[in-house]
């Protein structure tokens, strides 16, 4: 009863006082392991650290993203230092900790979820553009997180996959999650040729357009992915990742469900936006994007698919078989092996129209 009267918001709650879901056996085991690790970590002198992520919003609200963990260092070491994925994975999540968020003079307290992740919306009226908000817990110093508030007049934005779309993966899909989690080092990855230029020119042609990076990767590697995007001159934007481990009702999380539900949420939050959806033909991007375009045609400007090389397609387990659906779709689809080819086709197809301002795709 005490929890139901607690004024602190829990991420994901939709009904005040709603009963918590019954946890799957695997989730209960994971929670027990986290509690044991947290107890040992605190005895070893580890400190609570808030790792902030970029958020987004619109006048009247913002979506705030961060993760609370136990570490030896401070937040600067997590965001700036060269940290391999396996080290990020072994950070200890702190669940049910109270997190205070201060934005535009508005203060709100929320509870981190089972994985230490905070993903919550705050009612606050900020002007369009980039803003800095403050996040802290009772036993941590203040940290700041960037939030991009989308102009209500903006009608165009980019939603981009990460693996094999902005960075070359060249790994068998069964090993991809393990590689991202345990080995990933942004300096060991190569950007897909021409994609950073494509994104920069699309943003130049559409000032104020938001960019959202949607990936099946775990929040553990968000700092590494952010550094990779920044180092390779991709435009700034929030990363929408997923938590590692079992959910409350299943052994393993579904990357496909994560992408589909994220797109659905964005369509509900920003109904007036039309998105250029960018992915590759080695995963489920074509299928997911096609289904979204079918159910929300008013929210899709076009779909751009980066075609994998023959060797990349073999490692990815083959190419998508959604070609028939694409041909019957009313949505514009473009395909090319790199960013230059995709930009050229987007201009030729009329998707950019006059907004391209004579941009040379080469």
Split at pLDDT 50, 70, 90, the class of 293 is very high
| Residue 198: pLDDT over 60 | yes
Cα separation, 231 vs 242, in Å, equals 23
Angle of CA points 76, 146, 221, to nearest 5°: 55
Split at pLDDT 50, 70, 90, the class of 223 is confident
Q: 47-58 and 61-71: which strand pairing? A: antiparallel
Mean pLDDT of 272-290: 92
Alpha carbons within 13 angstroms on the beta-carbon side of residue 13 total 20
Cα separation, 99 vs 111, in Å, equals 6
What token pair was written down for 111?
Answer: 């509870």
- The residues spanned by each domain of the chain are 20-149, 156-356
- Among the listed residues 200, 203, 62, the one whose alpha carbon sits nearest the alpha carbon of residue 128: 62
Confidence (pLDDT) at 362: 39
Overall residue count recorded for the chain in this entry: 362
CATH 3.40.980.10 fits 156-356, yes or no: no
What token pair was written down for 91?
Answer: 């950070």
Cα separation, 207 vs 218, in Å, equals 30
What token pair was written down for 318?
Answer: 């083959």
The answer to whether 194 touches 340, Cβ cutoff 8 Å, is: yes
Cα separation, 278 vs 301, in Å, equals 11
Confidence (pLDDT) at 149: 98
Top-confidence residue, 200 or 251: 200
Split at pLDDT 50, 70, 90, the class of 29 is low
The answer to whether 125 touches 104, Cβ cutoff 8 Å, is: yes
The DSSP result for 228-279, as a single string, is: HHHHTTPPP--EEEE-SS--SS-SS--HHHHHHHHHHHHHHH-TT-EEEEEE
Mean pLDDT of 213-242: 90
Give the lowest-confidence range in 37-51, 193-207, 320-334: 320-334
Q: What is the tens place of the pLDDT at every residue in 313-360?
A: 544 444 455 555 555 568 999 999 999 999 999 999 888 754 444 444
Cα separation, 111 vs 109, in Å, equals 7
Chain centre to alpha carbon of residue 154: 21
Top-confidence residue, 218 or 294: 294
Split at pLDDT 50, 70, 90, the class of 250 is very low
Angle of CA points 182, 188, 191, to nearest 5°: 115
Q: What is the tens place of the pLDDT at every residue in 45-76?
A: 788 889 999 999 999 999 999 999 888 765 44
Give domain 20-149's CATH superfamily. Answer: Immunoglobulins (2.60.40.10)
Confidence (pLDDT) at 261: 94
- Among the listed residues 137, 142, 121, 20, the one whose alpha carbon sits nearest the alpha carbon of residue 68: 137
Give the position of tokens 């700092």: 223
The answer to whether 112 touches 31, Cβ cutoff 8 Å, is: no
Residues 6+ apart with CB under 8 A from 50: 66, 67, 68, 75, 99, 135, 136, 137, 140, 143
Cα separation, 110 vs 13, in Å, equals 10
Dihedral, 275, 257, 283, 158 alpha carbons, nearest 10:
20
Dihedral, 30, 34, 40, 46 alpha carbons, nearest 10:
150
- Among the listed residues 64, 57, 67, the one whose alpha carbon sits nearest the alpha carbon of residue 94: 67
Mean pLDDT of 140-168: 94
DSSP H/E element including 96: none
The answer to whether 133 touches 184, Cβ cutoff 8 Å, is: no
Split at pLDDT 50, 70, 90, the class of 186 is low
- 20-149 and 156-356 share one CATH topology? no
Confidence (pLDDT) at 71: 81
Confidence (pLDDT) at 200: 95
């Amino acid at each position: 009863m005490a929890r139901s009267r607690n004024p602190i918001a829990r991420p994901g709650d939709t009904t005040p006082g709603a009963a918590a879901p019954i946890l799957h056996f695997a989730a209960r085991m994971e929670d027990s392991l986290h509690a044991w690790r947290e107890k040992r970590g605190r005895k070893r002198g580890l400190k609570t650290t808030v790792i902030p992520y970029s958020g987004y919003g619109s006048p009247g609200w913002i979506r705030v993203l961060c993760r609370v963990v136990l570490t030896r260092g401070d937040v600067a070491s997590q965001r700036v230092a060269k940290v391999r994925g396996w080290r990020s994975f072994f950070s200890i999540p702190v669940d049910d900790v109270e997190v205070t968020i201060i934005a535009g003079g508005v203060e709100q307290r929320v509870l981190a979820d089972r994985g230490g992740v905070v993903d919550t919306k705050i009612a606050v009226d900020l002007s369009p553009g980039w803003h800095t908000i403050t996040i802290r817990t009772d036993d941590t110093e203040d940290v700041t997180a960037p939030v991009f508030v989308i102009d209500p007049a903006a009608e165009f934005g980019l939603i981009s996959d990460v693996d094999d779309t902005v960075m070359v993966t060249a790994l068998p899909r069964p090993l991809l999650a393990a590689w991202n989690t345990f080995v990933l080092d942004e300096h060991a990855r190569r950007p897909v040729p021409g994609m950073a230029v494509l994104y920069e020119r699309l943003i130049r042609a559409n000032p104020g357009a938001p960019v959202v990076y949607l990936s099946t990767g775990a929040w553990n590697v968000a700092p590494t992915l952010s550094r990779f995007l920044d180092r390779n001159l991709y435009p700034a934007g929030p990363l929408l990742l997923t938590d590692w481990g079992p959910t409350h009702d299943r052994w393993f999380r579904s990357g496909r469900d994560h992408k589909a539900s994220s797109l659905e949420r964005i369509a509900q939050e920003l109904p007036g936006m039309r998105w250029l959806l960018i992915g590759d033909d080695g995963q489920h991007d074509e299928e997911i994007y096609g289904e979204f375009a079918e159910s929300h045609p008013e929210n899709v400007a076009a779909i751009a698919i980066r075609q994998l090389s023959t060797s990349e397609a073999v490692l990815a387990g083959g190419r998508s078989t959604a070609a028939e659906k694409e041909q019957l779709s009313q949505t514009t689809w473009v395909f090319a092996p790199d960013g230059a080819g995709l930009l050229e086709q987007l201009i030729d197809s009329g998707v950019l129209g006059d907004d391209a301002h004579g941009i040379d795709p080469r």
